Amino acid sequence: MVMHSYDFHTHSTASDGTLAPEVLIEKASAAGVKLMALTDHDSISGYQSIAGMSFSEDIRVISGVELTCRLDKQVVHIVGLNLDTGNDRLLMHLGALDTLRMERAKAIALRLEKAGLPDLLEAAINCSAGGQIGRPHFAQAMVDLQLVTDQQQAFKKYLGAGKKGDVKVEWPELASVIALIGEAQGLSVLAHPTKYNLTQNKIRFLVQRFSELGGDALEIGYPAVTLDHQRALSLLIEKFKLLASGGSDFHNPANHWTGLGRFPNIPEHLPHVLDVVS
């Protein structure tokens, strides 16, 4: 892992991060980050909350969001960077996702209750602290109530893929999300492409479709990406004429495998999102 002066993938308490937006930015600045995007899951409320706040002159914060969507049945995440956060269609889209996530949270709580656990909805909402509610908040509620020892156990027993609390959602289509980001004058970035448990052929197909639909960049600097992954992804960037992007995918300072501004280097010969937003 290498320290960078930029970080285009971070999360705050507006979604499933543990630091308030202003604290996140202060810690990023203290770590040496000069340019960062706040990219909460399906929410810009964290970015909106810090608009107008004064921070160190050494750091610049741009708008961002990590939008959940699907290509066929595959769920993927698209980071939108440098968006017009006042765009009406973007705000409508995020409002609809708020409703969708709350409906899913109610369904998760009901399934877990049928599995013998207490009603965890209110506790999970409290854990979300007004941000986007998701499975990590149910996991934290279980930890707080001493139903499990840690979040990892919560996912292993109740919330992971195929478990009782794994409630599927009909997320928006990839094409509509890319179009939405473009309409909001932002850059669309396919996040952490090797984290979807896809074969190399399926990753290649995903990147190809992302490009054909008007996507702008591929995230190839992120925790857990290997050199072999990067070589393959670099070839896809060149083939489909995309930009490269990178970020820590920071959520929690307790996660020692990452840190603000810390992620693997991106090959210098590749065109970079920095060339567009810096």
C-alpha–C-alpha distance, residues 211 and 31, integer Å: 34
The two structure tokens encoding residue 5: 């002066």
Q: What is the mean pLDDT of residues 191-196?
A: 97
Contact between 25 and 260 (Cβ < 8 Å)? no
At the topology level of CATH, where does 104-159 sit? DNA polymerase; domain 1 (1.10.150)
- pLDDT beyond 80 at 278: no
The predicted structure's pLDDT at residue 119? 97
> How would residue 131 be classed by pLDDT, with cut points 50, 70 and 90?
confident
Q: Please, what is the Cα angle at 78 between 72 and 80, to 5 degrees?
A: 145
Share of the chain above pLDDT 90, in %: 87
The predicted structure's pLDDT at residue 209? 98
Q: Which of 3-7, 115-119, 188-192, 254-258 has the lowest mean pLDDT?
A: 254-258
Alpha carbon of 202 to those of 55, 73, 211, 213: distances in Å? 42, 12, 14, 16
CATH of the domain spanning 2-93+172-277: 3.20.20.140
- pLDDT beyond 80 at 1: no
Mean pLDDT of the chain: 95
- pLDDT beyond 90 at 125: yes
- The model's pTM is 0.91
> How would residue 53 be classed by pLDDT, with cut points 50, 70 and 90?
confident
Stretch(es) of the chain classified as CATH 1.10.150.650: 104-159
The predicted structure's pLDDT at residue 200? 95
The predicted structure's pLDDT at residue 129? 81
103-115 tens-digit pLDDT: 999 999 999 999 9
> How would residue 255 be classed by pLDDT, with cut points 50, 70 and 90?
confident
C-alpha–C-alpha distance, residues 213 and 277, integer Å: 21
Alpha carbon of 103 to those of 89, 106, 146, 152: distances in Å? 21, 5, 25, 24
Stretch(es) of the chain classified as CATH 3.20.20.140: 2-93+172-277
Q: What is the mean pLDDT of residues 65-79?
A: 96
